[in-house]
């Protein structure tokens, strides 16, 4: 392959594969810089940067309680693309969930995919007008207090949800269209850690 062609291909790959987000520059105990955090519905979500009890590196933690806490990255605007995050469910009586949101218009309108350690499943929802509605559920092993990788690929009406490298949901849906922010999500009283959030456009 000619050098110029190879260089162009490598540049294209780097552009498509955004570097994972770290929280190294953020203060412990504070919300992350460059993110907007809140919840759908009433409650007291608590999104803070904390030290991972396992190895001390900085991670994003949700430790409050609300129907559907979310935290979206301000500089992301995607219509078609992919998002990925590492999450570690620690505790929760009602739920122990880690999730991703995309095409996020506001706190009441977005897609969400989540994995739940209490139910051992992966699910896909659309939230419109503040109401969450189920699109698909699939059984999947989600160990508590372990790191997992959740990924969503979306283009047009096609959505694919993968957990730890295995695809569990692959379907078409048109409820939420157009560009929106992307970020992470939990449910109810889930205490969950997040790290290495990454996103990119469709290849």
pLDDT at 7 over 70: no
Tens digits of residue pLDDT in 26-60? 999 999 999 999 999 999 999 999 999 878 899 99
Q: Tokens 């993110």, residue?
A: 35
Residues of the chain above pLDDT 90, percent: 87
Delineate the domains of the chain, giving CATH numbers in brackets: 21-201 (2.60.120.560)
In this predicted model, what pLDDT tens digit does every residue of 83-110 receive, in sequence order? Answer: 999 999 999 999 999 999 999 999 999 9
HSE toward the beta carbon, residue 189, CA cutoff 13 A: 5
Give the pLDDT confidence of 126-141 residue by residue, as tens digits.
999 999 999 999 999 9
> 180 falls in which pLDDT band (50, 70, 90)?
very high
pTM above 0.75, yes or no: yes
Whole-number Å distance between alpha carbons of 78 and 181: 6
Q: Which sign does the torsion angle of CA 21, 22, 26, 27 carry?
A: positive
């Amino acid at each position: 392959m000619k050098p110029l062609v190879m260089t162009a291909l490598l540049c294209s790959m780097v552009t498509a594969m955004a570097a994972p987000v770290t929280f190294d520059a953020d203060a412990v105990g504070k919300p992350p810089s460059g993110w907007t955090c809140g919840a759908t519905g009433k409650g007291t979500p608590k999104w803070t940067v904390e030290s991972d009890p396992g190895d001390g590196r900085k991670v994003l933690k949700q430790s409050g309680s609300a129907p559907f806490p979310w935290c979206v990255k301000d500089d992301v605007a995607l219509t078609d693309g992919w998002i990925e995050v590492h999450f570690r469910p620690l505790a929760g009586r009602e739920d122990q969930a880690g999730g991703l949101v995309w095409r996020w218009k506001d706190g009441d309108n977005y897609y969400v995919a989540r994995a739940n350690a209490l139910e051992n499943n992966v699910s896909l929802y659309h939230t419109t007008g503040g109401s969450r509605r189920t699109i698909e559920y699939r059984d999947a092993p989600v160990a508590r207090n372990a790191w997992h990788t959740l990924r969503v690929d979306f283009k047009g009406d096609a959505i694919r949800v993968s957990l730890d490298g295995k695809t569990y949901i692959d379907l078409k849906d048109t409820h939420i269209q157009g560009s929106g922010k992307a970020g992470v999500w939990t449910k109810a009283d889930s205490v969950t850690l997040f790290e290495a959030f990454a996103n990119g456009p469709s290849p």
